[in-house]
Amino acid sequence: MKVIETPIKDLLILEPVVHGDDRGYFFESYNAGTFNAATGLEINFVQDNQARSTINVLRGLHYQNAPHAQTKLIRALEGAIWDVVVDLRKDSKTYGRWYGVELSAENKRQFLIPQGFAHGYSVLTDTAEVFYKCDNLYNKESEGGLYYADADLNIDWKIDLNKAIISEKDKVQPTLKEDSSSF
């Protein structure tokens, strides 16, 4: 597994070793031993989530507050997404900065997002199926979010926001300045 560091501390992109031949391909999408050795981290993932969406869907930006904060390992099983995070760790040098990466069935990349980040994605292809592991169980009372179109964040979602399909909940999330996350 190849580990790619990003400009934001602790935020990693993982590329699996893919074995391909005339029959197709094979790769380990997750192996705790390989993951621990490559990243130097030991994360106990306890919940898997899967979502299917159509082009121009924008989901996010979401997070879980402590003590139910979640580390996530995200990948696209089908299609392509533009995956975005915002650093909400108030003691971080990159607090309030966003970072995005394309995850696709083709590139097989995975995005490791530690606790303390808001997360969202936009769908770049006709459909996309997204799968992610979490190290903490979902807790409704701990959920939080940021407004996807916060002018101060100025996130490039790689889609036309006038055509974006967005939940009513995501349309009314607070801006970063209004955020009350516990990180």
For 35, the enclosing helix (H) or strand (E) is helix 32-39
Q: In 56-168, where do the E strands start and end?
A: 58-64, 72-78, 80-87, 98-104, 110-113, 117-123, 127-134, 143-145
Q: Which of 63, 99, 132, 148 is catalytic?
A: 132
Active site residue 132: yes
Interstrand relation of 58-64 and 117-123 (parallel, antiparallel or unpaired)? antiparallel
Q: Active-site residue 25, yes or no?
A: no
How far apart (Å, rounded) are the C-alpha atoms in residues 40 and 61? Answer: 27
Tokens standing for 120? Answer: 């969202």
The answer to whether the CB of 126 falls within 8 A of the CB of 104 is no
CA distance 56 to 21: 34
Q: Which one from 62, 68, 99, 148 is the annotated catalytic residue?
A: 62
Residues annotated as catalytic are 62, 132
